[in-house]
Each structure stands twice: as structure tokens, then as C-alpha cells.
Amino acid sequence: MAVRLALLTSAVLLLVGCGAKAAPPATTAVVALHQFHIPFPEGYTRAQMVTRVATDVTIATSELPVTTPKTRLVLTSAAYVRASKNAVVPCFGKTRWANLEGFLFPATYDFDVETTAQNLVQAQIVAFCRDWDTLDLSYARSKNLTNYDVLKIASMIEEEAAVPGDRAKVAGVIYNRLRDHIQLGIDATLRYGLHISPTQSITQSELASDNPYNSRKLYGLPPTPIGNPGLASLRAAAHPSTLGYLYYVRIPGTNRQVFFESSTAFNEYLATHGYGPHG
């Protein structure tokens, strides 16, 4: 279901509240009510959302009714960059977050000619808090994980688990590796930190880099979420599998992962089946 952001012009509000005497020109009412849609898929980064805003604003502009003077959308990608840079996230307290990665909830949002970038970002934060407040975080807290830690884990799950049944298991691997002080080894974090495309190979020099998102080399969670997770990944991050999995690898030719409790079993599988990227 789309999140509605339409803002009616004062002329339309007068039309509703005062009757025919205050009726604006017909073209004004039509433009104000013309709805457009902007979909943000689960896992999208803030940078990808900026690109999507630019694309969909261009499309929406081309579909606007012809008026004199030319009607323009208030929403722009440049304004979205500014609006999504920092904000208060009410369900995370009164602090103004300097990095909103992870808090920009992925969904389809409606907008019209008067929708501002601030309106859009606030709608994403409201949607995030609506779902965040449904989570039971008691298990994560029992493992000394903060709310922000859970959000980081959810963002990694969104990248790693392509099928629903793998989400809690991926979460369990992350929890277990944190417990055992093992590097997470998730290439998606390094790709995020170095702005490497998922289709681009990671070089040995990149694997050896001191980038703070290099979970092959560094211990613990990345500095920030690596994308904006949906509700299913948030739930998995709060409720991980409690099995003893420490390793996983993508089954070649599929989107599914296979999980292992020991390095021996993991390496035996790789020797037999080969390696499917999991980061």
C-alpha cells in the first residue's frame, strides 16, 4: 500500500470549506490532486533513493498538465539530499541523527506538486517508527546489542538473505560471530563502504583495505547501516535463529543460502560445490 503524501493547495481547501464562491480555476485543482508515486525497494541505500527521486520527479514533470505559467514540482533530488541528511527519529530518542541511512523506510510513497522533500523524508521516518515500535528487542538487549546495532544487522540481512526463510538464519550467524569475536566477513559491508557495485568483483587490495566497513578484516558491526531494511529484516534482526550457525554460502545457481556450524563442514561444501558469493 502506498503512503499518501498529497498536500492540497489552499485553493482546494477553500473549495471544500467554503463552497462554490471560493472555487479556484479548474486547472489549479486538477494539478494539486494529480498523484504520482515513488517506490523505494527494501534495502535501497540513501544514495539509491536520491537517484530514484531524480528519476521519478523527471517522469512526473513530463506528465504534469500543461498550464500557464508552467507548473513545477516542489520535490527535487537536490532537496531530498538535504532533507535526508539528518533528522530526529522519534522512536530512537530526541537526538538529531547525522546519518539517516537505515531510518528511511522503503515503501511506495505518493506525492503531488506541493509535496516537499521534507514531507517525503518525514513520511519515511514515521513509517520506520511505526514498524520499529512493533519489535520486541528483549533478546537483542540480552546480548548487549543497542537499538542501532539491531538496525545495522537488519540492513545486512536485507542484503544477504534473498529468500524469507534465510533471514533469521543470517541474523543468527551475525549474532554468533559477534559473540565469538569472529569477523563478520560480509562483503556487502565493504561494497557499501567503497561504493562497489554488486556486479563488480572485489580486488585483493580492497579486501585488505582499512575501510571502516571492511568486515572481512575488522571486528564487530559496521559504523552505520548499509541500507534501509524492510519490516521482515527488522524482525529477523530482533529474533535471530538460535542455532549454532557460523558460516553460510549461496547455493550456486540459486538465491538460497546453505548454513554450517563448523569451518570443516563449510570448507568441505566449498570443495565439493564451489563458492557462491554471499556478500
Contact call for residues 8 and 119 (beta carbons, < 8 A): no
Q: Supply the pLDDT for residue 201.
A: 87
Whether residue 198 is predicted with pLDDT greater than 60 in this model: the reply is: yes
Among candidate residues 72, 99, 132, the one where a domain is terminated:
132
C-alpha grid cell for residue 181? 569475536
How much is the pLDDT for 53? 98
| Rounded distance between C-alpha atoms, residue 88 and residue 232, angstroms | 24
246 and 125 inside one domain: no
Considering the domain architecture, whether residues 213 and 257 belong to the same structural domain is answered as: yes
Domain-located, residue 237: yes
- Tell how far CA 78 is from the center of its chain: 19
Share of the chain above pLDDT 70, in %: 85
Place of cell 548454513: 259
Q: Do 168 and 223 fall within a single domain?
A: yes
pTM of the predicted model as reported, rounded to 2 decimal places: 0.86
Contact of 29 with 14, CB cutoff 8 Å: no
Query: In terms of domains, do 27 and 104 share one?
Result: yes
Looking at the fold, whether 200 and 217 belong to one and the same domain comes out as yes
pLDDT in tens, 166-176: 999 999 999 99
The pLDDT tens digits of the residues spanning 32-50 come to 446 899 999 999 999 999 9
Cα 47 vs. chain centroid, distance in angstroms?
10
Domain residues for 241?
Answer: 138-273
Do both 165 and 225 map to the same domain?
Answer: yes
| pLDDT mean over 156-174 | 96
**Is 100 part of any domain?**
yes
